[in-house]
Amino acid sequence: MDQLLRFAVMVAGSVREVSDFAVVDTGRLRRVMVVGSASTTLLDVGGVGMEMQLSIAARPEAVSFDPGRTAVMVIDMQNDFGCRGGMFDRAGLDVAPIAHLVQPISRLLEAARRNALLIVYTRQEHNADLSDAGNEDAPHRIKHKRLNIGEAVVAPSGIQSQILVRDTWNTAIVPELEPQPGDAVISKHRYSAFFETSLDSLLRARRINTLIFTGATTSICVESTVRDATFRDYRCIVLRDCKAELIAADTMRSNHEASLLAIELLFGWTAESEAVIDALSRSAKAG
C-alpha cells in the first residue's frame, strides 16, 4: 500500500520527487502529507489511490466529477406530478413529459448504483392540515390553492389520498423509480430541497461536492434547488434529457430552455445522461 500511495501522489503532479509521506487523516478519503524535494503539501487520496475525476462533455464547457463525492438528485418524481390521477393531471395538465423521464432516469440510477454514488430523492409534500404550507396569505399557499392542495381524493387504486400531502399515494415516488436501500429521501415543503431540510447536512457529512440533477419540473423545483446548491458552493450538473417542464411547454420558447440557459451561464453545467453513464461505465471497467 505504501508504494501505491507513493505512486498516487506522484501522479498528482504536485511534486516531482517524493522523499516521504504520512497519512494524517483516515476514512474513505485519506489525507496524505507529502514531503518533496522542494516543498511539503497535502493531498487527498482514496483507499486505493487518488480521487477519481471523470470528465464529460457539457455546456458551456466540459466538466469533471469524482464519483465518490457526487450525488444524483432525483427531484420530485412523484405521483402528483408524473402520473394520471395526480395533482397535475387533475388540474388538466399533460403529465406525459414527466412520465417520459422515467426511462432515462432509471438508466442513470442503475449506473449510479453500480458505481456506489449517493442517490437522493426529494418529495414536495405537506402536513395533512397544511400547517407547513404557510398561512392563508402566504404566496406558497395562495399559488397552490388553484391546484387544490390538501384536497381529499381517491387514488387510481381506489385508496383514499390527499393532494400534495405526505404519507399518501399522491406524494409517493413513481413505482418505476422507487428508492432502494441506501438511497436518501428528503421531504420538502417548498420548491428548494435545501429550504428547512437536512439535505445540506446530509451532503456535507458524505463530503459531497457535486450534484447531478434529474427530475421535474425544470424551471421550478429543479432550478430552485440548483440555485440554492450553487449558493452553497456545490457544483451542479443538470441532465437535459432527464428534465421536463410543463409551463410554456407548447410555446416556441419554453421555460425549460430558459432555465437551462440560466444554469449554463451562471449556476452550473448541463449535459446528457449518456455522457455520465458512459463515464461511469469506463470507470468501472478501468477499476
State the pLDDT at residue 213.
Answer: 98
- Model confidence at 214, pLDDT cuts 50, 70, 90, reads very high
Catalytic residue among 188, 228, 242, 243: 188
Catalytic residue among 66, 80, 221, 228: 221
- Is 188 considered catalytic here? yes
Cross-strand pairs, 40: 35
Residue type, 243: K
- Is 25 considered catalytic here? no
Instruction: Render 229-261 in DSSP notation, one character per residue.
Output: HHHTT-EEEEEEEEEE--TTTTSSS-HHHHHHH
**In terms of pLDDT, which residue wins out, 37 or 130?**
130
Q: Which of 258, 256, 259, 260 is nearest to 246 (CA)?
A: 256
43/10 Cα distance (integer angstroms): 11
State the pLDDT at residue 255.
Answer: 84
Q: What is the dihedral of CA 32, 33, 36, 40, to 10 degrees?
A: 140
- Is 89 considered catalytic here? no
Q: How far is CA 269 from CA 104, 248, 255, 265, 276, in A?
A: 18, 23, 17, 8, 13
Residue in the block written with cell 482514496: 46
Average pLDDT rounded to a whole number, residues 134-147 = 96
Predicted structure pTM score: 0.82
